[in-house]
Structure 1
Amino acid sequence: MKITDFINTDIKPLTLKNTLKQAKDSFKKNEANHLAVIDTHLLGMLSKEDIHDLDLAKNIEDYQYLLDLFYVKNSYNWLEVLGLFAQNQTDLMPIVDDENQYKGCYLLEDLLNFIYETPFLTEPGNILIIEHNTTDYSMSKICQIVESNDGKLLGAFISESNPDTVQITLKIGPIAINPIIQSFRRYGYQIVSEHEEDKLMSNLKDRSDYLNRYLNI
């Protein structure tokens, strides 16, 4: 399934000649916090919050300065689209072609349903969160570490970042994960997530260290 399968053409865009009362009714009908406003092309997005205290009898063109221009194109992948949803704090994202002609929209709910169907979430496996210096980590090296331990990387994304460190969340196919954990440690990665296999190995090491100290008394 492709993200373009979720293009919505049922929600009709507004025009400058629509009144704010008509816009308010459309917001209520479509349960959206933004709606597209078009002329011969996309003019911008009208926010439901922006029209609360305005004269509903007036046309949108009287408040055209309130329009906020953001959009995606058919060629954008789902990560780019999701990023723009978050950046613009919207639940409806307009889609335009190369001539800025309005072609429909994506709904945030539909995009999340698309993500829920990706192998990252649907395939069985282990979630591993690792941490490394921001300037030193390498996605290619991360893949190499997983695959060198007969693991299958189903997905990876940066889940947290600051100027000094970065955390990467990995989804690894069902396999004994401890060899992968130990390999990451050898390459200087910190393991943020907790794993039963890792706890068991840590407990065995603690007991071994205790026994060695006892024998050396």
Structure 2
Amino acid sequence: MIASELIQTQIPVLNLSDTIEVALKYFEEHKTYQIPVIGPKGYVGLLEEDAALGAEKNVELDKLKDLFLKTKIQEEEHLYSALSIFLKNKLCLLPIIDSNNKYLGYISEKALFKKTCDWLSVDDLGGLLHLEIKQQDYSLVQIAQIIESNHAKIISSVCIPLTNKPTHVEVILKINREELSGIIQTFERYEYKIIATHHKNIHQKGMDDRFESFIKYLNI
């Protein structure tokens, strides 16, 4: 899945020759706080609404280009790269360019969030299992073997570094069974640390809280 497959163009671009007054009108009309700006050589950067509000209305955007965010993604880059860029910057959209720096459109945070949910198989039936593992002990092969020994399969998996424990990772597993008691017992037998579960025999709140934390981690 590459960036160009999620391209959108509903929000128009601004030109370096446009004034702050024009930019403020665009922000209001399109309910956004970032707008791409282009110039004679293609994409220049993202103008943020706060920067525009702090300038005189008759000033041309060329005078503010040092304040632009320089975030962008090449059209052929994988969406994992887009996710990383969104995580590192406070973005509502990510401009897409070609190899010649021509502006093509953007990826919206909503579209990327939906695609992330597709990757995580959020809509698929099944149970969720949340583990904490030492990085040196993490083996998706072993985890898969444990699950498959209970006649189940992993639908999706996410590995998240723990900021408060640099030597550990959190692993969120979506499994194609709604009843996970046998799988949980097997993981406990192998001395895995289970943070939370969500399946039909377990109260939902623990996993809901963890999933909410994961979405906050994604920052979208």
TM-score normalised by structure 1 residue count: 0.81
Structure 1 gap segments, 5+ residues each = 200-217
Equivalent of residue 164 in structure 1, options 154, 163, 167: 167
Q: Quick one: which amino acid aligns to residue 186 of structure 1?
A: R
Match of residue 153 from structure 2: 152
* 1:91 aligns to 2:88 (yes or no): no
1:167-206 alignment, distance < 5 Å? 167-174=170-177, 176-194=179-197
Q: C-alpha deviations, 1:109-138, integer Å up to 9, x for none?
A: 222233344561111000100111122212
| Secondary structure of 2:121 counterpart | helix
Q: Distance in 2 between matches of 1:3 and 1:151?
A: 33
TM-score normalised by structure 2 residue count: 0.80
Match of residue 108 from structure 2: 107
* 1:25 aligns to 2:25 (yes or no): yes
Percent identical pairs in the alignment equals 26
Report deviation, 1:176.
3.6
* 1:142 aligns to 2:106 (yes or no): no
Match of residue 13 from structure 1: 13
1:3-82 alignment, distance < 5 Å? 4-39=4-39, 40-82=41-83
Q: Distance in 1 between matches of 2:132 and 2:101?
A: 41
**Contact kept? 1:33, 1:92, Cα under 8 Å:** no
Asked which structure has the greater CA Rg, the reply is 1
Over the aligned positions, Cα root-mean-square deviation in angstroms equals 2.4
Structure 1's 165 and 116: CA in aligned 2 closer, same or farther, altered over 3 A?
closer
Report deviation, 1:5.
4.1
**Contact kept? 1:7, 1:106, Cα under 8 Å:** yes
Q: C-alpha deviations, 1:62-100, integer Å up to 9, x for none?
A: 111101211122333333322212211111110011222
Q: Distance in 1 between matches of 2:129 and 2:154?
A: 11
Aligned residue pairs, count: 199
| Secondary structure of 1:23 counterpart | helix
| Secondary structure of 1:115 counterpart | helix
Report deviation, 1:194.
4.2
With a CA cutoff of 8 Å and minimum separation of 6, indicate the structure with the bigger relative contact order: 2
